[in-house]
Amino acid sequence: MYHHSFWWRYYFDNKGDDARFNNPKIYDNKIGDNMVVIMFNGNVALNKVIVHGGLADRLKGITSVYKVCKEMNKSFKIDHISPYKLNQFLMPNEYDWYIEHSEVEKAQNTESHILDDLNLKQDNKYFYRRLKLLCRKKRTLLIYSNAHIISDEEFRSLYHELFRPSKLLETAIRDNLDRIGEAYISISYRFTHILGDPIDVYIPELSQEEKDALIEKSILCIYQLHSEYPKLKILVNSDSVIFLERVKLLQLPYVYITPGIPVHIDQNLESDIISYLKTFLDFYLISMAQKVILVKSEKMYNSAFPRYAAIMGKKDFCTMHI
């Protein structure tokens, strides 16, 4: 049985903050008139319910807004407090994007704009033009967006300018790499609700016969990859606890599954810190694989999560259709 005692102890000792985070010389951030703040606060803005999306959606929005801010010479900040504070897992790297939520709340002379979210799909060219026009204003802009206007190379470059793992995440990455022990490939499955997991429950659940057939096909992919890459371990990722439990029952010595229960950060707003940690841990472990594969059937979701992890880690990515 795997336990999280070390991670929990580290979290409560350090409250999820990096040592740099308490340095006022580095983190003396106040709201300014020439500032853009991208918002992930779980709120209603402009009488619309904001749907922030999963981790990949949020990262696409963050890097896209940051790109425009760099072009327009605007200060860029991230106010990410829902369902967790982003600095618990990702810290500023080359660019200091952190701002206290209280500073945003009490700010004057602000404008809120929803340029794209999962409920309001707009053309990305419109988003790009609109944001550049808004950036000409000398006031604080609060932007809600997960629009994607950047190339793969830009995403990778901007991501590393913005982020590095927190000590909590870095410790988890190192611990799991030690457990894997050798080079590996990554295989990901996004089933949503079709196997019966309580995820995206508006998607119809398959019949038991269809579930069993899909699980068998999905497991065959693991055997196939092992035959193609016999010297590499296989990191298996999925949003389905049902599928992961079936894989665990096989007790395959070349398969590794990161511990914990997978959660969707836009649908599980009351999970504990370790559950959210798994999402970031999976993202980084996938980015470190020798090859990244997404398994996709007609009814499975075409997840961007492993693809953007591969982009971040500059690794080969492909889709295996079943």
Q: What is the DSSP string of 236-248?
A: EEES-HHHHHHHH
User: Model's pTM, two decimal places?
Assistant: 0.89
Q: Which of 148, 165, 182 finishes a domain? A: 165
Same domain, 42 and 172: no
Q: In which band, very low, low, confident or very high, does the pLDDT at 90 lie, cut at 50, 70 and 90?
A: very high
Residues 93 and 159 in one domain: yes
Residues 142 and 245 in one domain: no
d(CA 301, CA 283) in angstroms, rounded, equals: 17
Residue 266 confidence (pLDDT) above 70 = no
The DSSP-derived string for 200-228 is: STTSPPPPHHHHHHHHHHHHHHHHHHHHH
Which residues are CB-neighbours of 300 under 8 A, at least 6 positions away?
189, 190, 191, 192, 194, 214
Q: Is the pLDDT of residue 92 over 90?
A: yes
The 10s digit of each residue's pLDDT in 176-216 is 999 999 999 999 999 999 999 998 888 999 999 999 999 99
First and final C-alpha spacing in the chain: 32
Query: Residue 2 falls within a domain, yes or no?
Result: no
For residue 223, give its domain range: 167-321
Q: What is the pLDDT of residue 22?
A: 42
User: Do residues 59 and 195 both lie within one domain?
Assistant: no
Q: So what's the pLDDT on residue 118?
A: 57
Task: Give a yes or no: residue 1 inside a domain.
Answer: no
With respect to residue 3, please indicate whether it lies within any of the assigned structural domains.
no
Q: Is 202 left (phi over 0), alpha (psi -120 to 50) or beta?
A: alpha
Residue where one domain finishes, among candidates 165, 192, 223: 165
Do both 102 and 208 map to the same domain?
no
Q: Is residue 306 part of a domain?
A: yes
What CA–CA distance (Å, rounded) separates 309 from 202?
A: 27
Reference 276, options 86, 145, 98, 60; nearest CA is 86
Average pLDDT, the chain: 88
Q: Is residue 249 domain-shared with residue 260, that is, in the same domain?
A: yes
CATH number at residue 282: 3.40.50.11350
Strand partners, 36: 76, 141
78 shares a domain with 215? no
Number of structural domains found in the chain: 2
